[in-house]
Amino acid sequence: MGKERKSEWRTLSGLPLPMSSQPSDAPATLSQPGEPPYTRGIHATMYRSRLWTMRQYAGFSSAEATNERFKLLLDRGQMGLSVAFDLPTQLGLDADDELAYGEVGKVGVSICSVEDMKVLFDDIPLAKVSTSMTINAPAMVLLAMYIVAAEEQGASMSDLKGTIQNDILKEYIARGTYVFPPKESMRLITDIFEYCSSNVPSWNTISISGYHIREAGSTAVQELAFTLANALAYVEAAVSKGLDIDAFAPRLSFFFNCHNDFFEEIAKFRAARTLWHDLISERYAPNNPKSTMLRFHTQVAGVSLTAQQPLNNVSRVTIQALAAVLGGTQSLHTNSYDEALGLPTEASATVALRTQQIIAEESGVADTVDPMAGSWHVERLTKTVYEEAKSLIHEIESKGGALAAIEEGWQQQEIHLSAYQYLSEIEQNKRNIVGVNHGVMEELDGIPVMKTDATLGERQTQRLAELRTSRNVEGVSNALEAVRTAASGGANLFPAVIEAVRCRATLGEIMGVLKDEFGTYMAPSGF
């Protein structure tokens, strides 16, 4: 007789799991898909009318190299672009800044000016493609570069579709690429809300991200609660600025992780829609139903991928992607199996894209809306995740809201405790990870690893030197002074930043002016 597997059964987040669920665990009635509170999906027909956007995250080395990868993925059936920027760009540094040394092009593409942005999207019509950009502290500057690059292709602002992440609160919580103090960062975000609501109406002005919170070690419940608490802080900041809830809330979007616990992740997505609808409806009573609809992008869990037996990651990615689809995601990125070793190769990125296509075209899961509805187990988990996340949000609000709790370090500490518990369970063999502490075997070499161009930093420095000698120096100086004036006053910053980009001011130059006016920020821990 085999030994008992566990003495206690819980989800990955620690939620209790009975042996089986009962009819009483499901709600007496379920709303229809496309109807409030949107538990079953924000659209009545979901994937029968339109599949989710298959959006592979890509960016490395130079703008030219990333442009080639974009074209390859589009040719193989990708529906939208998703840009990864290198660390200097994420921190608002030009490639020739001494702090950028050794990091240019390593974990994303290096973008220093609108000229780089134009190369990045060369021969890709920005009026027709949807682009997501993972950028936060310098989000306004990068979006300005995208707008100017599109204009110089012949597209207008009203043509543009896409998303900037622009979620600075989770940077203070989990990721660390913040630049300015919280108050000034929130001003940049609300200025983007205000400007785009009138001028770039089809652009998603923020992607409020739980992904990095989960990657840092949170549970699914914490990911949901902390993300929605951050979202409420953005909404309140915009409303306090005088914006009407219906002027910006329909363009809010969310970005979630999808981890290994299949049913818990499905329940998390269903609970997220319901909870967001309830929170916004109760607090702001919007007139536009779209203001209460939670639209989200999903990326499968990078932190779950192992360097050991990396081909096993294909299975992990498939399970996670399937959960995201069954949970009703609007767009999806599937990680490549080699991402624990290096940047995705052409071959591994193609397998990741094909995984989505197989789920969409061959599995049948996209043929009906919310096929998990009515499952006693899923409905019970949906209710539990909803209630636990709502309780955490109330706890955050008792501390003065997301921003006050962040400054106290509360969310950070909660994530650290969850991450420690998870890793301790693995080290004590209470949780099995195949290839790490279960199914371990001697491995064969042979997985190719991508290498980035070590000379890129020097070449980007040369490009910047050429730009600075060819542009109108007086025009750049005047444009940067206009940014300074707007920053020191109360005017919306975005028009001045766009004009500075048109004049060929660089990312580092614009961010430098804002640092002079706003200052920079160091976390209470000093890190």
Consecutive sets of 10 residues in the chain, 527 residues long: mean pLDDT of each? Answer: 65 92 88 96 96 87 92 88 94 96 92 97 95 96 98 96 96 95 95 96 95 97 98 96 95 96 98 98 97 97 96 97 98 94 90 96 96 96 98 98 93 96 94 94 80 85 96 98 96 98 98 97 67
Predicted local confidence at residue 273, as pLDDT: 98
Q: Of 464, 474, 477, 466, which Cα lies nearest the Cα of 512?
A: 477
Tell me, yes or no, whether 385 lies in a domain. Answer: yes
Predicted local confidence at residue 438, as pLDDT: 95
**Could you check whether the bond before residue 37 is cis, i.e. omega within 30 degrees of 0?**
yes
Same domain, 237 and 91: yes
**DSSP bridge pairs for 299:** 257, 333
Same domain, 462 and 419: no
- Give the domain extent around 491: 456-518
Tell me, yes or no, whether 170 lies in a domain. Answer: yes
Strand locations in 85-179 (E): 130-134, 161-164
* Rounded CA separation 378/26 (Å): 8
Same domain, 202 and 62: yes
Strand locations in 301-361 (E): 331-333
Instruction: Look up residue 25 and give its two tokens.
Output: 């665990």
Same domain, 345 and 488: no
Residues 161-186 pLDDT 10s: 999 999 999 999 999 999 999 999 99
Predicted local confidence at residue 4, as pLDDT: 55
Tell me, yes or no, whether 386 lies in a domain. Answer: yes
Same domain, 99 and 238: yes
In three-state form (DSSP H/G/I as H, E/B as E, the rest C), the secondary structure along 413-424 is HHHHHHHHHHHH
Tell me, yes or no, whether 422 lies in a domain. Answer: yes
Same domain, 474 and 404: no
Tell me, yes or no, whether 17 lies in a domain. Answer: no
Same domain, 388 and 496: no
The values of phi and psi at residue 356, to 5°, are: -65, -45
Sign of CA dihedral 307, 310, 315, 320: positive
Same domain, 412 and 474: no
Same domain, 115 and 259: yes
Q: What angle do CA 490, 492, 497 make, to 5 degrees?
A: 125
Domain count, the chain: 2
Same domain, 384 and 311: yes
Greatest extent of the chain over all pairs of C-alpha atoms, in Å: 83
Predicted local confidence at residue 527, as pLDDT: 45
Tell me, yes or no, whether 441 lies in a domain. Answer: no
Sign of CA dihedral 421, 425, 228, 335: positive
Same domain, 464 and 316: no
Strand locations in 282-377 (E): 296-300, 331-333
Domain boundary among 408, 427, 446: 427
Q: What share of the chain is helix, strand, coil (3-state, %, to 5)?
A: 50, 10, 40
Same domain, 225 and 336: yes
Tell me, yes or no, whether 436 lies in a domain. Answer: no
- Distances 322 to 173, 223, 262 between C-alpha atoms, Å: 28, 19, 8
Tell me, yes or no, whether 41 lies in a domain. Answer: no
- Give the CATH number of the domain where residue 401 resides: 3.20.20.240
